[in-house]
Amino acid sequence: MDNFASPQPVLEAIGLTKTFRVRPDRIGAKPRYVHAVSNVSLRLSPGATLGIVGESGCGKSTAARLIMQLLDRDEGAILIDGEETANGRAALRAYRRDVQMVFQDSSASLNPRLTIEASIMFAPMVHGVSRDEARVRAHELLGKVGLDPARFAGRYPHELSGGQRQRVNIARALALRPRVVVLDEAVSALDKSVEAQVLNLLQDLRAEYGLSYIFISHDLAVIRHISDEVLVMYLGQVIERGPVADIFDAPFHPYTRALLASMPSHDPAARTLSPPITGDPPSPIDLPPGCRFAPRCPQAADVCRARMPELLLKDTHAAACHLNDPRSGHPVFEEKAA
Ligand SMILES: Nc1ncnc2c1ncn2[C@@H]1O[C@H](COP(=O)(O)OP(=O)(O)O)[C@@H](O)[C@H]1O
Ligand code: SF4
Ligand SMILES: [Mg+2]
């Protein structure tokens, strides 16, 4: 049995798939298809942080937008407390109360003409909370994110630093008292020292409000610091997932290994000399059959190019690679048998 099954996940996504059709660059050419997210499933345990990591363009933000239902999925389902979310405006409104999002760009996501207080009060008021109650909530949250309401409530976004604006965005996401927060590169634009402060704040808030996070980042060090479970994505697919210690201390998938090998170490003596991932930069357009990592994988064999490996679970750790399955027909197993 899959250990991700217990306890009952607060949020679950099954088989999320999104393909974008892009217009051909010249008349008469065939349309092209971007396989941004292919069959992505995840389970978020109550109070946990699920990290999603992968190179730029691997589909993290598209997955986040599908989970937020900001984007229609081609296939798949989203469940809250084991119940599939219904269609329609009322269901989406209820979903928005439970699941909120923080984006990377702190200046673009705040209305420049609204005071900080008004920005945080906006969503609760839309959801029927009285103005007075919304103001009380906004001031409480400003205090929680480390911005003294007496000093900050009346300020405008341009009067704040990037780190302060991101604290406001976090307060705003919490104003509807959600249970799940999806953070898409939420600290990626911040200076390293500010980033550490915001990460610590997020961990405090998670404990205090009983939140669960889906934390998306291309930065392995940040993912390692904050996550309980990790999903590694490559070209729209989950290629490995497991508890954070398994992923970082015993990575299985050749892509995860390559990613970790290219991770800068803080200890100069431990810095690896292994080359970064080689091969063409990935593009999710017009994908070949078989393993999507095969063009860059040092262990690619014919079976890899012919058949797509399934995400195979062993104990708590799953990897989609023919090397993970002795029956796959990968030559590495035939050599061992001989
Ligand atoms: N609206 C869109 N139309 C066409 N292609 C898109 C659209 N949104 C994203 N993509 C493509 O989907 C892929 C995944 O993008 P994205 O989810 O933003 O990745 P990430 O967040 O991991 O960098 C990229 O190739 C991107 O160019
Ligand atoms: S399935 Fe083959 S090509 Fe894909 S990661 Fe595993 S060994 Fe490499
Ligand atoms: Mg992104």
Is 34 within the bounds of a domain? yes
3-class DSSP state of 33: strand
Q: 152-195: per-residue pLDDT in tens?
A: 999 999 999 999 999 999 999 999 999 999 999 999 989 999 99
* Whether pLDDT at 290 is above 90: yes
Task: Tell me whether residue 118 is in a domain.
Answer: no
Note the pLDDT of residue 1: 42
Residue nearest to atom 1 of ligand 2 (CA): 321
132 burial class (0-12, 13-18, 19+ CB within 10 angstroms)? exposed
The answer to the question of residue 227 being in a domain is yes
Name the E strands within 31-127.
32-44, 49-53, 75-80, 83-84, 99-102
Closest ligand by atom to 309 CA: 2
pLDDT greater than 90 at residue 207? yes
> Could you tell me if residue 259 is inside a domain?
yes
Determine the pLDDT at residue 268: 52
Q: For the chain, state the CA radius of gyration.
A: 22
Residue whose pair of structure tokens reads 């928005």 in the numeric block: 96
pLDDT attached to residue 196: 94
**251 CB within 6 A, ligand 2:** no
Is residue 138 assigned to a domain? no
In a domain, 84, yes or no: yes
What is the mean pLDDT of the segment spanning 111-118?
96
Gap from CA of 138 to ligand 1 centroid (Å): 34
Q: CB within 6 Å of ligand 1 — which residues?
A: 20, 22, 34, 36, 54, 56-62, 284
Closest-approaching ligand to the CA atom of 65:
1
Query: Looking at per-residue confidence, does 104 or 140 come out higher?
Result: 140
How much is the average pLDDT of 237-266?
91
Which pLDDT score is estimated for 31? 85
Buried b / exposed e across 241-274, counting CB within 10 Å, b at 16+?
Answer: bbbbebbbeebbbbbbebbbeeeeeeeeeeeeee
Does the C-beta of 323 come closer than 6 Å to ligand 2? yes
Domain count, the chain: 1
Ligand 2 closest atom vs CA 301: 2
- Say if residues 223 and 185 touch (Cβ distance below 8 Å): no
C-alpha 106 to ligand 1 mean position (Å):
20
In a domain, 182, yes or no: no
Check whether 3 has a pLDDT greater than 80.
no
- pTM of the entire structure? 0.94
Which ligand is in closest contact with the Cα of 325?
2
Ligand 2 atom at shortest distance from the alpha carbon of 254: 5
Average pLDDT over residues 4-22: 89
User: Ligand 1 centroid to 61 CA: how many Å?
Assistant: 7
CA 113 / ligand 2 centre spacing (Å): 51
**pLDDT per residue as tens digits for the range 216-247:** 999 999 999 999 999 999 999 999 999 999 99
DSSP per residue, 188-252: TTS-HHHHHHHHHHHHHHHHHHT-EEEEEES-HHHHHHH-SEEEEEETTEEEEEEEHHHHHHS--
How many C-beta neighbours within 10 Å does residue 1 have? 6
How far is the C-alpha of 198 from the C-alpha of 167, rounded, in Å? 7
Per the prediction, the chain carries an average pLDDT of 91
Query: Does pLDDT of 277 surpass 80?
Result: no
Tell me which residue range forms the domain holding 51: 3-93+219-337
- With respect to residue 129, please indicate whether it lies within any of the assigned structural domains: no
Using 50, 70 and 90 to split pLDDT, how confident is the model at 288?
confident
Q: Which ligand 1 atom is the nearest neighbour of the CA of 58?
A: 22
Q: Residue 283 sits in a domain of what CATH number?
A: 3.40.50.300
Q: How far is the CA of 277 from the centre of ligand 1 (A)?
A: 21
